Structure 1
Amino acid sequence: MVCLLDASVVIHLLEGHEGIAGAVSELVSGFDISALTRSELENGIARDPENAEMRRAMLDAFLATIAVLPFGDDAAAEYGRIVGALGYSRAKTIDRMLAAQAIVSGAQLITMNGDDFRPIADLNLAVWVG
């Protein structure tokens, strides 16, 4: 089973947190990120001009080693199901879209923010602690 890493995990990985780096290296089936996660990471670079050059270099090096999965029609339909079940929340839109993508792709979603995802039915979720 492929794993999808959310932005919280990738940020800790890029910042060199040993526990996260070790856990990621043990993912036998491999891992990818969603285009949604990439958009969150790009947002972080844009919002931190002081460190943008360093963060850009780290992100580009990371992106050269993994696949970035597009968000497709099946995931959009699953997102609609999630919103129907839990209600709409602008603050949770990207998290719920990411969960939808993980569900339809049969991937395990790995996050450090479990509370953002626990209410979502049918999501294979792993919550890591930094």
Structure 2
Amino acid sequence: MRYLLDTNICVDAMSDRYPRVAARIRRLSPGSVYISPIVVAELRYGADKSGRPRANHAKIDDFVQDLSCLDFNLDAAAAYGRIRAGLESLGKTIGSNDLLIAAQAISNQLILVTDNLREFQRVKGLQIENWRG
């Protein structure tokens, strides 16, 4: 099994609010847990607007060093187009960053780990797990 971590799961793991999330990530073999540059961008944004940007950027640096970072490639771009068009035709759009993350998960055949089930369950063919529960 290979996994792509959503932003909320990364925040959980870095803050230890959900110890089982951090523990599960540590138990997985190297190369089976991925992060999207879109997720890293969201984490950086959160750090920059926080009251402790330097400390939070250091946490991010430490967290992402052991994860494989995906490229947003042509396969992900094609998946993005299909997902967005499909959702718009149903009147069930999701956030733009979530669309990009879902496209990367689908195009790389990864299970998306997220607590944002309400948004991501709209994406046909996307495998989702929530490690908080």
TM-score under structure 1 normalisation?
A: 0.89
Displacement, 1:127?
1.9
The 5 A counterparts of 1:2-13 are 2-13=2-13
Task: List runs of 5+ in structure 2 lacking aligned partners.
Answer: none
TM-score under structure 2 normalisation?
A: 0.87
Displacement, 1:8?
0.4
SS at match of 1:4: strand
- Residue among 115, 120, 130 paired with 1:117: 120
Alignment check: 8 A CA contact 1:79 1:96 kept? yes
Structure 2 distance, partners of 1:27, 1:73, is: 28
The 5 A counterparts of 1:39-78 are 39-48=41-50, 50-78=51-79
Structural RMSD (CA): 1.9
Structure 2 distance, partners of 1:44, 1:127, is: 21
For 2:98, give the aligned amino acid: D
For 1:62, give the aligned amino acid: F
Structure 2 distance, partners of 1:57, 1:101, is: 26
Which residue number in structure 1 is paired with residue 38 of structure 2? 36
Structure 2 distance, partners of 1:14, 1:89, is: 31
Displacement, 1:68?
1.2
- Residue among 66, 78, 96 paired with 2:99: 96
Task: List runs of 5+ in structure 1 lacking aligned partners.
Answer: none
Alignment check: 8 A CA contact 2:35 2:68 kept? yes
Alignment check: 8 A CA contact 2:76 2:103 kept? yes
Are residues 83 and 21 of structure 1, via their aligned partners in 2, closer, same or farther at CA, if it must alter by over 3 Å? Answer: same
Which residue number in structure 1 is paired with residue 16 of structure 2? 16
Displacement, 1:70?
1.3
Which residue number in structure 1 is paired with residue 132 of structure 2? 129
For 1:10, give the aligned amino acid: C
SS at match of 1:32: strand
